[in-house]
Amino acid sequence: MKKIIVMHDFSPLGESALRYAMNLNKETHAELTLVHLVSKESQLNDAIRKMDAIVTENQHASLKPINKIVTLGSIFYSMGRIAKEEGAQLIIMGVKNTSGFQKLFRSNAIKVISSTEVPFLLVQKETVFRKVSKMIVPIDTTKESLQIVHNASELASIFNAVIHVVAQKQMDETHSQQIKNRLLLVKKQYEERHVPSVFELLPQSGSFQKQISEYVTRTQSDLIALAYHSESLLPQFDNFAQDLISNNQYIPCMVLNSKLASALYF
pLDDT in tens, 19-34: 999 999 999 999 999 9
Q: Is the pLDDT reported for residue 236 higher than 70?
A: no
Q: How many CB atoms lie within 10 A of CB 150?
A: 15
Q: How high does pLDDT run on average in the chain?
A: 87
Contact criterion met (CB below 8 Å) for 6 and 18:
yes
Domain limit, last residue, from 95, 123, 151:
123
Q: How many CB atoms lie within 10 A of CB 29?
A: 12
Do 100 and 169 sit in the same domain of this protein? no
Residue 4: per-residue pLDDT: 97
Residue 104: per-residue pLDDT: 41
Q: How confident is the model at residue 93 (pLDDT cuts 50, 70, 90)?
A: very high
Do 175 and 102 sit in the same domain of this protein? no
Q: Is the pLDDT reported for residue 168 higher than 90?
A: yes
Residues 109-155: tens digit of each pLDDT: 777 887 888 999 999 999 999 999 999 999 988 888 899 999 999 99
Do 114 and 180 sit in the same domain of this protein? no
CA dist., res. 124 & res. 205, Å (int): 28
Residue 141: per-residue pLDDT: 86
State the number of CA atoms in the 13 A half-sphere of 57 facing the CB.
10
CA dist., res. 196 & res. 17, Å (int): 28
Domain that holds residue 214: 134-257
Task: Kindly report the CATH number assigned to the domain that includes residue 211.
Answer: 3.40.50.620
Contact criterion met (CB below 8 Å) for 250 and 127:
yes
Q: Which of 114, 113, 94, 96 is nearest to 105 (CA)?
A: 96
Residue 142: per-residue pLDDT: 84
Q: Is the pLDDT reported for residue 159 higher than 60?
A: yes
The answer to whether residue 265 is domain-embedded is no
Give the residue with greater pLDDT, 264 vs 178. 178
Distances in Å between the Cα of 103 and the Cα atoms of 108, 231, 245 are 9, 20, 11
Distances in Å between the Cα of 242 and the Cα atoms of 16, 120, 238 are 19, 13, 6
Do 11 and 114 sit in the same domain of this protein? yes
Residue 238: per-residue pLDDT: 65
Do 112 and 18 sit in the same domain of this protein? yes
